[in-house]
Amino acid sequence: MRTSVAIIGAGPSGLLLSQLLHLQGIGNVVLERRSQDYVLGRIRAGVLETGMADLLRRAGAGKRMDAEGEIHEGIEIAFGGSCHRIHFADLLDGKTVMVYGQTELTRDLYEARAAMDGIVIHGAEDVAPHDIKTDTPYLTYTKDGRNHRVVCDFIIACDGFHGVGRSAIPPDILKTFERVYPFGWLGLLSDTPPVADELIYSYHERGFALCSLRSRTRSRYYIQVGQDESLEAWSDDRFWDELKRRLPQDIASGLVTGPSIEKSIAPLRSFVAEPMRHGRLFLAGDAGHIVPPTGAKGLNLAASDIQYLSEGLIAHYKSGDESGLNQYSDRALARIWKAERFSWWMTMLLHQFPQNGAFGQRIQNAELEYLFSSRAALTSVAENYVGLPY
């Protein structure tokens, strides 16, 4: 098979790039190891920056998001037994975020690709990039016991943290930076009405908690747990009881509980790979960077990667302009590191770190008290949360 752009991974970033390129007449193929049902079964983030929402509209995949997504003008941070609001719209002249589940977003992109007869090959095993330093790189893969090859101009690795794309960059070229946090998030998804109209981040002596939502009838809740916690040790009743302990009393009393429809423990890490381009291979999304979910930046960073990549590829094919592709890694990393900083800061602010001792806890308390005594500090948080410009 011959195409212009070969994309590894049919998550949101791979499908979004495929759609944006197709709309400009640029041929592409997406290879995905898993089935479509498996991809759509992943439970992930649901807070979209304006840039991400605008990209979906440009890709012709934003109609349902606009109809069913929820505009949020702020978030709540709970500490000291009370909730304190960060009002984005007030601090930033009307700027907001959109709450719309990643699963639904991915479904919309799949439907958009199908409507355009886009080529998405599922069950592609043993995908491997070759000749990425030449003008004719290619991918090999196996499907149904047969070997296949896709010859292309560019390979885009949107295949996640454990994918094959990043490993194709030689170790003497690739530099990685990582921080692994000493805890995880135990998350529970339930078909229950959310406890609040906006997200509540809770700082508590028993550990962090987050109340979020996917819709008016579906809620997603998280609590901080140790790295060695077993999922089997957490019944639904135990989860709900612990969540209530970490919320202000008036919030906890309004919590509607119910059976979980998904429950999992996610580790937290900060990770960046540099550079994000080697030859004709480009990294995008989780293949190049991971953030702890505290700042709602993972999916949104993937979107800015795709914005820069699509601009560069379109300019290359339309006018022969290579500048966007040549600048991609530097442009993407400049924004990535700012989001890494914000996500790290939110994580350090709101979680319990027993190893930091009494001094560290007092510093966290002082930071929270300062935050809500300073409009400048609140504006800085709001600016980062709603998303820095592309």
72 counts as catalytic: yes
Measured CA to CA in angstroms, residue 346 lies from 219, 339, 362 at distances of 22, 11, 16
- How big is the CA angle at 16 (ends 11 and 18), to the nearest 5 degrees? 100
Q: Which of 204, 278, 289, 297 is catalytic?
A: 297
**Tokens, residue 155:** 């390979």
Angle of helix 323-350 relative to helix 357-371, nearest 10 degrees, comes to: 110
Q: Any catalytic annotation for residue 390?
A: no
Per the residue annotation, which of 141, 201, 221, 328 is the catalytic one? Answer: 201
Q: How far apart are CA 220 and CA 234, in angstroms?
A: 16
Q: Which two tokens stand for residue 134?
A: 């030449």
Q: Exactly one of 293, 317, 328, 351 is catalytic; name it.
A: 293
How far apart CA 278 and CA 286 sit, in angstroms, is 17
- Which residue, chain included where needed, has tokens 């109209």? 197
**Known catalytic residue: 293?**
yes
Catalytic position from the list 22, 72, 204, 289: 72
Cα 388 to chain centroid, rounded: 15
List helix spans (H) across 284-388. 298-319, 323-350, 357-371, 375-386
Q: In the structure encoding, which two tokens stand for residue 40, read together?
A: 């759509």
Q: Residue 265: beta bridge partners?
A: 186
CA proximity to 222, closest of 252, 255, 182, 264: 264
- Spacing of C-alpha 144 from chain mean position: 31
What is the phi/psi pair of residue 374, to 5°? -130, 115
Active site residue 162: no
Active-site residue numbers?
Answer: 72, 201, 293, 297, 385
